[in-house]
Amino acid sequence: MNKISVIVPCYNEEESLPMFYEETARVLRGIKGAEYEFVFVDDGSSDSTLNIIKNLAREDEHVKYIVFSRNFGKEAGMYAGLFEASGDYCVIMDADLQHPPALLPHMYQAVNEEGFDCCGGLRMGREGDSKIRGLFSRAFYKISKSLTHMEMSDGHGDFRMMNRKVVNAILDMKEYNRYMKGLFSFVGFDTKWIEYESVERAAGKTKWSIKSLFSYAFEGILSFSTMPLKAAGLAGVLLFIGGMIFMIYNLVRSIWAADAVTDFDIIMFVVLMVSSMQMLFIYILGAYMSKDYLENKKRPIYIVKERG
């Protein structure tokens, strides 16, 4: 009999966790020919999330959990869950019920009967997101796709069921700076997408602020693209062309107009433009070097405080 492992990274999810467990367990019990387990990963929660998970583990033998020593982030939580899971198929889900448990039977059919290695949920719309957040998200995925040349589209999230080949490929990549959406795309394999409507959280508040989303987006671009480094050369060419046009314009203007721009104005403009571009690319170089610095330290992706 096949086994499905449901991996649930949790950070302060005390309000939604009981509802998530009840709904998901009910759906899993209805899947014929498969047993299941829950792998909850407590990512340093400061509320009652861990107590709820422990109570679930005492009442249900299908529940196991690991507790991080501190907050390591969702990327580490997903990796830890995949590492601890024992199922033939693994599915990653959020505890806020924005990933509909009703799709699990269809996902299982795709990977168990239809020959797909992976089946992901394709989110349609952005219910509960502000217009600004939705705009930035769509823009990021367009930029990311053009820079990395990988399939990372808006709506392709972490909600997906994978067979062991896919899971092992993900686990083989032990990089410290993890961007799971990029890793899912990088490993490839045959993937089926099932559309579902975006819904608001069942309870609680999102942990993603605009600042954290920008940071996450920047992490994804740095992890899978060297284009920002190459952009320095392009910027240099554009600055040179722009400077030549500006000089020619002012030369012509000095001949035909009495109020020509002075040499001092031209020098200041060029100095400011060049200095700003230098600072920008020094920052980009520093960002890449910092990532390499952390990778070379070989620090663990997460530290486990407790298992159950």
State the angle between helix axes of 74-84 and 164-172 in degrees (0 to 180), rounded to the nearest 10.
130
- Partners of 283 in the beta sheet? none
SS (HEC) of 55-86:
HHHHHCCCEEEEEECCCCCHHHHHHHHHHHCC
pLDDT band at 218 (very low <50, low <70, confident <90, very high): low
pLDDT band at 164 (very low <50, low <70, confident <90, very high): very high
Compute the distance between CA of residue 163 and CA of residue 90 in angstroms, rounded to an integer.
7
Q: Look at the pTM and tell me if it is higher than 0.85.
A: no
Residue 3 has pLDDT above 90, yes or no: yes
84-109 CB burial, b ≥16 within 10 A, e <16: bbebbbbbbbbbbbbbbbebbeebbe
pLDDT computed for residue 189 by the predictor: 84
State the angle between helix axes of 180-187 and 210-224 in degrees (0 to 180), rounded to the nearest 10.
30
- Over range 113-117, report the average pLDDT: 90
Residue 279 has pLDDT above 80, yes or no: no
pLDDT computed for residue 26 by the predictor: 93
Residue 258 has pLDDT above 90, yes or no: no
pLDDT computed for residue 196 by the predictor: 76
Residue 66 has pLDDT above 90, yes or no: yes
pLDDT computed for residue 117 by the predictor: 92
Mean pLDDT, all residues of the chain: 76
Residue 277 has pLDDT above 80, yes or no: no
Compute the distance between CA of residue 46 and CA of residue 139 in angstroms, rounded to an integer.
33
Residue 19 has pLDDT above 70, yes or no: yes
Compute the distance between CA of residue 125 and CA of residue 154 in angstroms, rounded to an integer.
9
Q: Which of 87-91, 101-105, 184-188 has the lowest mean pLDDT?
A: 184-188
- Distance, CA of 71 to chain centre: 16
Q: Give the highest mean pLDDT range of 73-77, 238-242, 277-281.
A: 73-77
